[in-house]
Amino acid sequence: MTLPLFPEAIRGDSYVPLRVQVYSALREAIVGGRLRPGERIVEDRVCAELGVSRSPLREALRRLEGEGLVTILPRRGAVVTELSEGDGMELFAVREALEGLSASLAARRITAEELAELEDVCLAMEKCIQAKDVAAVVQLNTQFHELISAASRNRWTREFLSSIKAQIRRAYRSSLEVSARAPESLAEHRLILNALRCADPQQAEVLARQHVRRARDAALSAGVTTS
Per-residue pLDDT of the chain (227 residues; tens, 9 = 90+): 466 788 777 777 678 888 899 999 999 898 877 898 889 999 999 999 999 999 999 999 999 998 889 999 988 899 999 877 788 788 899 999 999 999 999 999 999 999 999 999 999 999 999 999 988 888 899 899 999 999 999 999 998 998 888 887 776 666 776 668 899 999 999 999 999 999 999 999 999 999 999 988 887 776 543 33
Task: Using alpha carbons, select from 83, 62, 67, 64 the residue that is nearest to residue 26.
Answer: 64
Q: Which of 48, 80, 112 is the last residue of a domain?
A: 80
Q: Are residues 130 and 206 in the same domain?
A: yes
Q: Are residues 73 and 115 in the same domain?
A: no
Q: Are residues 147 and 189 in the same domain?
A: yes
At residue 97, the pLDDT reads 97
Q: Are residues 67 and 89 in the same domain?
A: no
Q: Are residues 65 and 115 in the same domain?
A: no
DSSP 198: T
Q: Are residues 71 and 123 in the same domain?
A: no
Are 192 and 211 in contact by the 8 Å Cβ rule? The answer is yes
> pLDDT for 60-83, tens place per residue?
999 999 888 999 998 889 999 987
At residue 31, the pLDDT reads 83
Q: Are residues 215 and 154 in the same domain?
A: yes
Q: Which of 63, 80, 97 is the last residue of a domain?
A: 80
Domain that holds residue 134: 85-222
Q: Are residues 34 and 134 in the same domain?
A: no
42 conformational bin, left if phi > 0, alpha if psi -120 to 50, beta if neither: beta
Q: What is the pTM of this model?
A: 0.76
At residue 41, the pLDDT reads 95
Amino acid at the residue 105: L
Q: Output the domain CATH number for residue 124.
A: 1.20.120.530
Gap between the Cα atoms of 84 and 29, Å rounded: 19
At residue 165, the pLDDT reads 80
| Domain assignment present for 12 | no
Q: Are residues 73 and 184 in the same domain?
A: no
Q: Which of 58, 80, 102 is the last residue of a domain?
A: 80
The separation between the first and the last C-alpha atoms of the chain, rounded to the nearest angstrom, is 22
> Looking at 81-179, which runs of residues are DSSP E strands?
none
Give me the number of domains the chain comprises: 2
SS3 content of the chain, % helix, strand, coil (to 5): 70, 5, 25
Q: Output the domain CATH number for residue 25.
A: 1.10.10.10
Quick one: how far is CA 66 from the chain centroid? 16
